[in-house]
């Protein structure tokens, strides 16, 4: 069985799964919150310049300037205590996904920050262009972490006993 979080060979999907860019944040305790694009735009925006979508199979595109809140900013804004151990899964609406480790989140003040991009080259991304798109700077594995159409951010406690305290609610 193939693991959707670790696709070693993958044909990129050019077709948005729906027109609606709304996404949800799932806490380890099962609480779900809805995040709209306007919510993401109301948070501090982090600009990443010189980004490439590097795919050995399909060629390289870029450089692009992507902008949006960092994943860390989004999680903190929703009351996630990043001091706890947990894993973050990012799922596109077409079932394509990746994982982000806690140490990657905490690089937020650098040019390696992982963002939920809403803008590309100063213009709001269209749905066809991937709105909302995870950008993992420096990823060089066939763009397998540059998840388009992010539909769900799901937190899982590494220690299930700690799940209740990961959420502030
Ligand atoms: N949701 C989603 N995101 C995805 C994919 C996909 O199939 N679905 N394919 C990945 C791969 S393998 C590539 S090469 C790039 C292609 O990005 P582009 O359409 O901007 O060129 O998207 C990445 N992100
Ligand atoms: Mo790819």
Q: How far is the CA of 97 from the centre of ligand 1 (A)?
A: 10
Ion ligand 2: residues, CB < 5 A: 12, 55, 142-143
Query: Are 98 and 144 a contacting pair, CB within 8 Å?
Result: yes
Token digits of residue 48 = 């990443």
pLDDT tens digit string along 35-52?
999 999 999 999 999 999
Average pLDDT score over residue span 3-7? 64
Distance in angstroms between the alpha carbons of the first and the last residue of the chain: 36
Q: What pTM was computed for the model?
A: 0.91
pLDDT tens digit string along 73-129?
999 999 888 877 788 999 999 999 999 998 898 877 778 899 999 999 999 999 999
What gap in Å lies between CA 130 and CA 102, rounded to an integer?
24
pLDDT of 148 over the 70 cut: yes
Average pLDDT of the chain to the nearest whole number: 89
- Note the helical H segments in 12-90: 37-41, 71-77
Q: How far is the CA of 83 from the centre of ligand 1 (A)?
A: 31
Using alpha carbons, select from 72, 86, 89 the residue that is nearest to residue 5.
89
């Amino acid at each position: 069985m193939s693991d959707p979080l670790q696709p070693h060979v993958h044909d990129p999907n050019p077709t948005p799964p729906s027109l609606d860019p709304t996404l949800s944040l799932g806490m380890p305790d099962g609480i779900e919150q809805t995040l709209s694009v306007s919510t993401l735009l109301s948070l501090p925006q982090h600009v990443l310049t010189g980004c490439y979508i590097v795919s050995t199979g399909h060629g390289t595109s870029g450089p692009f300037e992507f902008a949006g809140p960092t994943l860390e900013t989004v999680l903190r804004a929703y009351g996630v205590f990043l001091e706890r151990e947990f894993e973050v899964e990012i799922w596109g609406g077409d079932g394509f996904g990746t994982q982000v480790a806690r140490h990657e989140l905490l690089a937020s003040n650098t040019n390696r920050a992982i963002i939920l991009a809403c803008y590309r080259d100063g213009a709001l991304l269209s749905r066809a262009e991937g709105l909302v798109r995870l950008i993992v700077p420096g990823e060089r594995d066939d763009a397998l972490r540059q998840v388009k159409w992010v539909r769900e951010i799901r937190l899982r406690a590494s220690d299930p006993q700690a799940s209740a305290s990961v959420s502030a609610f």
